[in-house]
Structure 1
Amino acid sequence: MNKPFSDETRHAINGIDGRLYARHVRPDAPHLFSAQKWISEGRRGREARIYGPNARLHAVIRFDDSCKNGHQSFAITAEISGAARRIDDGSIGCHHEAIAETFPELAHLIKWHLCSTDGPMHYISNTIYHAGDRDHNGLRAGERRQIINGRTKQPCWTLEAVNAEGVRISSTPTGDMYRGAETVPLFILEKGFDGQQEDLPPAPVLKWVPLYREGEGKARDLDAARQSAAWPDATDEELSAEPDELKAALEARLPALIEAFRADMSAAGLLWSPLA
C-alpha cells in the first residue's frame, strides 16, 4: 500500500466541521491526488427528514483523480446517515438544492461540480450544445447538409430516378410524398407492369444526387449552458451567439475561471496538486 500523503484529520470548510480523509497520490502520476475527500458534519435537512428522526445530511467533497482520467476534478454530493429505513439509490447523489439549503456555506462551491484543474468538464462543447438551437448533427430545424462518410471523409451520394412524365411511382403514402419531387428513391418505383409490350411505360432515367441529412434542431437550454460553463451571470444574448463567437468568449474567460476555481479550492483547504 502506498504511504498516505497526509493523515486523516478534522477539517472545517467555511466554518462547517468535518473530516478530511488521508490524501493519497497516484503512483503513476505524482502530480495528481488519487484521493482527497472531505465529509461534513451531519445536519438535519429536507432530504434527511423523510428517513427518520436520526437521519442527517452530509456534504461530500472530492478534489482528486479517483476516476483515473488524468484530471484532478472537483465534486460535491450528498450522503445520508442514521436513516431509520432503507435508503434507495435516489437518496444519495448530487442533490445540490438540498446541499445549498442545508449547508448554505458551501453553496458557492456547487458551480464547480465536475470542474477539473483545466476547466469544467467538456467546457466548450457542452456549453455550445446546450446554448444552441442545433441538433447533435449541428443542424437547425429544416436545415439540410450533405452527409460526409465518417470513415472516408468523402461526401455521400445516392442513385435516384428522375421523376419525369410517365415514371410510375407506387400508390402508397410514401409514394404520394415524392410524387411531385424532382427525383425519387428507387424503392418507390413500380417494379411490375401488366400489359402489352407496346404499352410499357418509359424506363426511368437514373441520376446521382447528394445524400442529405435534414436537421431536427432543438430548444436552447440556457440554464444548462450556464451550468456547463460555470457562468451563472451569462446573459441570454451572450449564450445565444453563433458557435464560433461563443467559443471565443468561453476561451477568453477560461484562464480567469480556472484562477477563481483554484482560489476557492485553496480557501476550502483542498490542495491543487501534490507538487504545488
Structure 2
Amino acid sequence: MSVVLPTAEGSSMFTTFRRPLRHQRRLICFPFAGGGESHFRDWAGQIPDADVVAARLAGRESRFAEPARNDFSALLDELVDGIEPFLGGQTTLFGHSLGGLLAFEVARSLEARGHGPGLVIISGCDAPRTIVSAPKPQDLSDDVLLAGLAVHNVVPGEMLENRELMKLVLPAFRADLRVKASYRMDPAARPLGRPVRLYYGTDEEFEPESSRKAWAEVVSGPISMTGFPGGHFFVNSARQDVLDMISKDMARARL
C-alpha cells in the first residue's frame, strides 16, 4: 500500500517539487558543486513507480538568501537529520560529483542508524581516499576561479558562458570547494554494506578498474560500473541514457 505524505518545501533540506510522495520507491538526489535542486526537477515522473526527491542546499536557488555551508561534517549532519521523512520502503540515493560523496556518506550514516538505502548510485565522483588529498581552495578572483572551473570541467559549459548567472552562483561554488576540502574520511567507519553503482563519462580522465578498487576500500557491498558518452557532465549530455539506467538499476535492486 502506498504512503502519501504532504509535499515539503519551506525550510526543509529536501524538496519533492511540490509533488505528493505516492510510491514506496524513492530516488533521493544530491547536486554537484554549485548546483541546486532544479537540476533534478524534470527527473520527477521519469522513473517508473518512484518519487524523485532532491536535496536543497543553502546559498542557492530556493535557499539563496541563506549562507552556504563551508564544512562537510556540518552539511552531512543537516542532510542526515532532514532526510528521514523522505525515505521510502526502497530508497536509492544518487549524487553527481560532490553530490556523489554526499550520497555515499549519507548512506553510511543511515546504515549506521539501521535504515540504510537499498542502492547508492555514485556518479562522476572519485573514491574518498583520492578526495582527501584535494588542495584547499584559495580566495581567487572570479576570473581565475572561472578559468579553473572551465579547465577542469567542474561546471557545465552553458553555465560558464552565462556571466550574470555565474556571478550569482560563484559564492556557492566557493563554499562547495571548501566543503570538499574539509572532507575527511573516518578511518574507523565501517564500509558501506549496500550495493553501489558507479557512473562515469567515457571521455573523462578515468580508470574504471582503479576506481572500482578504490571504492572497494570503503564499500563492502557489490560494486558495478556503467560508462556514458561524454565528459564529466555526462549527466547532462547523456541525460536520457542516465535516467534509463537509473530506472533499470532501481528495478534490479527491487528484486
Q: Which has the higher strand share?
A: 1
Same fold by TM-score, threshold 0.5 exceeded? no
| TM value normalised by structure 2 | 0.25
Q: Highest CA radius of gyration, 1 or 2?
A: 1
Q: Which has the higher helix share?
A: 2
